[in-house]
Chain A
Amino acid sequence: MNDRMRKRLEITALSLPALIMFVGFVIVPVIMAAYYGFYRWKGFGQPSVNGQFIGLQNYGMILTDPNFHDALKHTLLVMIASLIIQGPLAILFALLLNQKFKGRAIIRTLIFVPYVVSEVIVGTAWSLMLQSTGAVNALLNSIGLPGADWIADPNIAFWTLMFIISWKYIGFAVILMIAGMQSIPEELYEAAMVDGAGFWRRQWSITLPLLGPTIRIWAFMSIIGSLQLFDLVYIVWGQYVAGTAGTSTMATYMVREGRLANNYGYGSAVAVVIFIISLAIALTYQRLVLNRDLDGAITTARGEKERRRKERDRALKHGGGDGGDAEIASEVAGL
């Protein structure tokens, strides 16, 4: 009994600080957003005193605002284009860098550099280089190609954004894929080689299916990242140009209409909409795609029990080790 009390005390003492921080700064703000979202409020004092309760009017305005429709459309396009562009490229580059050759380690380090440099610096640098009088156009002109207005031209701007995003995040995807490839047992390839399968056939029939969990986790992280896209667009396109150039995102819309316009009620409502859209997409993805990989991470105690059982089965089958669970969890953690 004494020990049980003590155990409880230890659990409380060790988990309370993290729990308080998490609830206080992550959960409470989200709940507050839902509350503020019902008011027309300029951010002074309390919404119930200095603001005006307007029910769902903010949400009505958001959902009928063509600017928000644009922002939503751009965000979803970024999400899909990121998957389509980065996924196959990352797998190909990972295949390349998974060969054994001299200098591989340094190459792997170098392709990780863009990921480490901050969005602000990436944005500043690219906007300098992509100016109409910048380095990229100068380089193109010198080899006889016409330049373009990469940032302001609405026909090009979106693809410029996609290029910068891919440049920034592909190194991370490649590293994840390489790690995934290394967990595939070498014997499978040897057996396939004995059976006469060529290089591409081996990748198609062995690497790709067995890389599934890694690809699915990477895609999940990429989707979440795309839905939150803010820094790069805000730095390169600025708060107002983004709308006309066709690169506005849900987050830049929120900042522009909320914080900068001093409409904190409206901004909070936008936050709630982003939250719900992200949640819906994340949960759908989990249900449809990730189910197998992420058992128990989002579900409740029942899921946990189920997971334990599966883990035990797996451990029995493979003769020990809870590597699988740790593996997936850490994959999620990658970002």
Chain B
Amino acid sequence: MRSADHNRADARGNAREQTYGLRKSAKTPWGNPIVYFFSLVLVAICIVPVLYIIIGAFRSNSQITRSPAGMPNPWVFDNYITVFTSTVFWSELLNSLVVSLGTMIGVVALALMVSFVIARYRFKFSGVLYSLFAAGMMFPITVAITPLYLLLRNLSLVNTHLGIILPQIAFGLPQAIIILVPFLKSIPVELEEAAELDGCSRLGFFARMVLPLSWPGVATVGILSFVASWNAYMLPLFLLNDSSKFTLPLGVQMFSSQHSVDTAQVLAFTSLSMIPALICFTIFQKKIVGGLAGAVKG
């Protein structure tokens, strides 16, 4: 795992270090004021609405009505406390975790296996197999949602978390495979030959060499599928009627329609439900952004 990271970093050399500021270097100059000005404008546009949700929830409803765009004065913590102590929020958080982790594990496991076949085995249908999955990129869940709902109903998976996890795995596969195949292809053949000489079977090679070496790709795929599932709305909307099964996006929508007069509460609920994805992203952002960028750079 270390060596894979190391290799990739080496291959990219300096460009990458400078690019993502992985190494704080005294040489990085201060930019000119115009650059900062436009950057800050861009950042403000991107961040202010998010901050509005988080900070707005520290206000009372009367504060919000009086001055919709103002700052909290005084700061009110009741909204957050109410949400924090409500069982609804925690059960929805748990549901979201179950669904997202299930999806993530499924996507990573299945995509890794089939990508290994596509990348490392020479056989007649390897190209067809890759094309089949790659074509799946063109058809997100929206197109298939109506018949998918009927299919899941026939399998009695309506109102179950499994009914969300399984299709999400299936629809997550194309992207995961497209990311993983180049990773697995880039593992040198010599390594495989050496392993074979040492009496390691192909599957042994898969378990002992490929898994650790493809770790960066696996992490990217895992995080992307986790966040996609965490944010998914349409499939849960179709599939879940029982509000005790709701995931957070459905919960946010239900909460905001039920408490439409209580804006402050809605803001607090919304803000708390977005924080897990934001934390996950902040922790892994170098991996995601770097992995994406690294992938594009080849």
Contacts and interface: CB of A to CB of B under 8 A. Distances in A.
A110 B38 contact: no
Contacts of B29: 100-102
B138 A279 contact: yes
A26 B144 contact: yes
Contact of A274 (B20, B143, B148): B143
Given A99-B31, A120-B252, A326-B295, A282 B138 contact: yes
Query: B20, B106, B110: which has the most chain A beta carbons within 10 Å?
Result: B110
A254 B246 CA distance: 23
Contacts of B175: 333, 335
Give the contact-size bracket for chain A. 35 or more
B233 A304 contact: no
A331 B113 contact: no
Interface in A10-37: 10-11, 14-15, 17-19, 21-22, 24-26, 28-30, 32-33, 36
A93 B42 contact: yes
Contacts of B19: 182
A49 to B, nearest CB: 14
Assign chain B's interface to a size class. Answer: 35 or more
A192 interface: no
Contacts of A136: 69
14 contacts: A7-B123, A17-B110, A17-B114, A18-B113, A26-B144, A93-B38, A116-B278, A171-B46, A180-B296, A230-B234, A231-B233, A301-B125, A321-B298, A333-B175
Interface of B: 15, 18-21, 28-32, 35-36, 38-39, 42-43, 45-47, 49-50, 52-53, 56, 65, 67-69, 106, 110-111, 113-114, 116-118, 121, 123-140, 142-151, 166-167, 169-171, 173-179, 181-183, 185-186, 202-203, 227, 230-231, 233-234, 238, 248-250, 252-253, 256, 263, 266-267, 270, 273-274, 277-278, 281-282, 285, 289, 292-298
The 8 closest A-B pairs by CB, nearest first: A101-B31, A304-B127, A326-B182, A330-B295, A118-B231, A323-B298, A25-B170, A105-B21
